[in-house]
């Protein structure tokens, strides 16, 4: 009985092996592809501009707070305890407002995150559609992203489909022929 079960298991494994080995895979470098796309570069410029604007607003607010602290320290000897406490409350309130604004802008799912998502997602969707089309045309079951967190110690260029995706997006090098 054990021998029959062992032979059946071996037969089952042998039957599965060809189907596993027949799978085709490839990889693309989405970071490289995105850098070639003018709409991605424009989105990045807009994101950077917004980030710099918001960051400078926050820095300006912190400078204002520092000025309030400096003013308080300079006038400290002239203020009563109640006046000093009132000023400290104002400064702390201003600090809390700036921290809340910073969180609203740069925090998890803040305005920066949402704007980046809004600008980048259509470009990423376009790349995904091109990758899907190339995968179907080349009959690939799996495509890895070389630029992602997946670590590839060695990659054979024969499995690199980045150029095909660039061609699909109309961004291929006219001097480069993809076969």
pLDDT digits 0-9 by tens, 119-138: 999 999 999 889 888 888 88
Query: Is 97 within a domain?
Result: yes
Domain count, the chain: 1
- In this prediction the pTM is 0.67
Query: Is 52 within a domain?
Result: yes
Query: Is 11 within a domain?
Result: no
Q: Whole domain around residue 87: which residue ranges? A: 21-168
- Report d(CA 98, CA 117) in Å as an integer: 24
The more confidently predicted of residues 32 and 175 is: 32
pLDDT exceeds 90 at position 63: yes
**Average pLDDT over the chain, rounded to an integer:** 83
First CA to last CA distance, the chain: 54
Q: Which residues contact 35 (CB under 8 A, 6 or more apart)?
A: 41
- Report d(CA 33, CA 169) in Å as an integer: 9
- Report d(CA 32, CA 165) in Å as an integer: 11
Query: Is 174 within a domain?
Result: no
pLDDT exceeds 60 at position 23: yes
Query: Is 173 within a domain?
Result: no
The whole-number average pLDDT for the span 160-173 is 84
Query: Is 176 within a domain?
Result: no
Query: Is 10 within a domain?
Result: no
Query: Is 163 within a domain?
Result: yes
Q: What's the gap between Cα 13 and its chain centre?
A: 40
């Amino acid at each position: 009985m054990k021998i029959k079960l062992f032979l059946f298991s071996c037969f089952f494994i042998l039957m599965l092996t060809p189907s596993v080995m027949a799978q085709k895979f490839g990889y693309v470098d989405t970071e490289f592809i995105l850098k070639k796309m003018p709409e991605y570069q424009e989105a990045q410029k807009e994101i950077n501009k917004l980030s710099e604007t918001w960051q400078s607003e926050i820095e300006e607010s912190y400078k204002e707070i520092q000025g309030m602290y400096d003013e308080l320290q300079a006038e400290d000897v002239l203020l009563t305890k109640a006046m000093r406490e009132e000023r400290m409350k104002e400064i702390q309130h201003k600090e809390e407002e700036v921290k809340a604004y910073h969180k609203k802008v740069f925090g998890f799912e803040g305005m920066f995150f949402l704007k980046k998502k809004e600008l980048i997602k259509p470009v990423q969707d376009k790349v995904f559609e091109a990758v899907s089309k190339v995968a179907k045309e080349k009959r690939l079951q799996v495509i890895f992203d070389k630029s992602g967190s997946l670590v590839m110690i060695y990659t054979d260029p024969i499995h690199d489909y980045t150029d095909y995706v660039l061609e699909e997006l109309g961004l291929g090098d006219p001097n480069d022929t993809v076969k």
